[in-house]
Amino acid sequence: MRTPLVMGNWKLFGTKDTISALIKGIEGTANSTKNVEVVVCPPPIFIEHVAKLTQNNNLKFGAQNVSEHITGAFTGETSSDMVKEFGAKYTLVGHSERRQYHFETNEMVARKFMAAQNSGLIPVLCIGERLLDRETHKTFEVLEKQLKAVTNLVGVAAFEKAVIAYEPMWAIGTGRVATAEQAQEVHSFIRSWLRAQNEVVAEKVQILYGGSVKANNAKNLFAQPDIDGGLVGGAALIVEEFVGIIEAI
């Protein structure tokens, strides 16, 4: 079936030293927990450092973002080809902080998804609604638009080599976690939406939950049938928390 996946998004945190210490702290658990894939997403400047530190353990790594362009006059950007060259397996695309602070549209995120796959990376498509969307019962409508932008560009079959992360914006970095039932309801919606177009893809794609996942709430979330793991922000920077989350699978 689907391999459970736990991903740490380190955002704009870390130094070479703190990253080395974090990896040292989690690699034993990643090595011994055979049925879970553990992935860390460092800031881009530390990709090479992390590539070296994960050569001899079971940890995989990914980028937090890539450009929609592969090469060209795009100052400050990092391309999916560059990230792949250093051995990354994944990249996040469309994290809500990118959508919110860098004005990434659904269509731009779809182009990043395509660029990532063209480079041989597995895109982790982050989708999620704002609090206002939830309160006005627009959650499914918003998610459908975010998914559709991708399927319109690359087709539903592209999700065979992709991951989806459902991250309600009101739960990211707020300490306010979705209940397991709320998360399962949305994960089930996402899988059904895909199933209506391609059953094989729907059964295969890993759908992660993200938003204030901690060691003490992970077990309940991961026990849901359509939740295949987590995308973890703050708690991924604390060894005991991240290890606890991996062990909750």
CB of 94 to ligand PEP, least distance (A): 11
Residue 2 DSSP symbol: P
* Among the residue ranges 27-35, 139-147, 150-158, 205-213, the one whose residues contact ligand PEP (CB under 6 A): 205-213
Distances (CA, A) of 46 to 3, 14, 87: 27, 9, 13
Question: Residues 37, 129, 167, 241: which is the catalytic one?
Answer: 167
CA distance 166 to 49: 29
The binder of ligand PEP chosen from 119, 210, 241, 242 (CB under 6 A): 210
The interface region with ligand PEP, picked from 27-35, 115-123, 134-142, 228-236 by CB under 6 A, is 228-236
- Angle at CA of residue 174, ends 244 and 35, nearest 5°: 25
Q: Using DSSP, how many helices (H) and how many strands (E) does the chain show?
A: 11, 8
Cβ nearer to ligand PEP, comparing 120 with 173:
173
CA nearest to 81, candidates 66, 62, 94, 92: 66
Q: Which residue in 95, 97, 104, 129 is the catalytic one?
A: 95
The residue (of 100 and 105) whose beta carbon lies closer to ligand PEP is: 100
Among 4, 6, 9, 29, binds ligand PEP (CB under 6 A): 9
Which of 29, 65, 146, 212 touches ligand PEP (CB under 6 A)? 212
CB of 183 to ligand PEP, least distance (A): 12
Is 203 considered catalytic here?
Answer: no
Taking CB under 6 A as the criterion, which residues in 147-186 touch ligand PEP? 167, 172-173
233 CB contacts (<8 Å, ≥6 apart)? 8, 9, 11, 172, 173, 210
Residue from 22, 164, 232, 246 touching ligand PEP (CB under 6 A): that is: 232
By the 8 A CB rule, do 125 and 154 touch?
no
Q: Is 8 in the site for ligand PEP (CB under 6 A)?
A: no
DSSP states of 158-214: GGGG-EEEE--GGGTTTS-PPPHHHHHHHHHHHHHHHHTT-HHHHHH-EEEEESS--
| First-residue to last-residue Cα distance in the chain | 14
- Please say if 95 is a catalytic residue: yes
Q: Is the sign of the CA dihedral 59, 64, 69, 71 positive or negative?
A: negative
234 binds ligand PEP (CB under 6 A): yes
Smallest gap from residue 210 Cβ to ligand PEP (A): 4
State the nearest-atom distance from the C-beta of 58 to ligand PEP, in Å: 22
62 binds ligand PEP, rule: CB under 6 A: no
CB 63 within 8 A of CB 39: no
**In the complex, what is the shortest distance from the CB of residue 231 to ligand PEP, in angstroms, rounded to a whole number?**
5
Site residues, ligand PEP (CB under 6 A) = 9, 167, 172-173, 210-213, 231-235
Residues with a known catalytic role: 95, 167
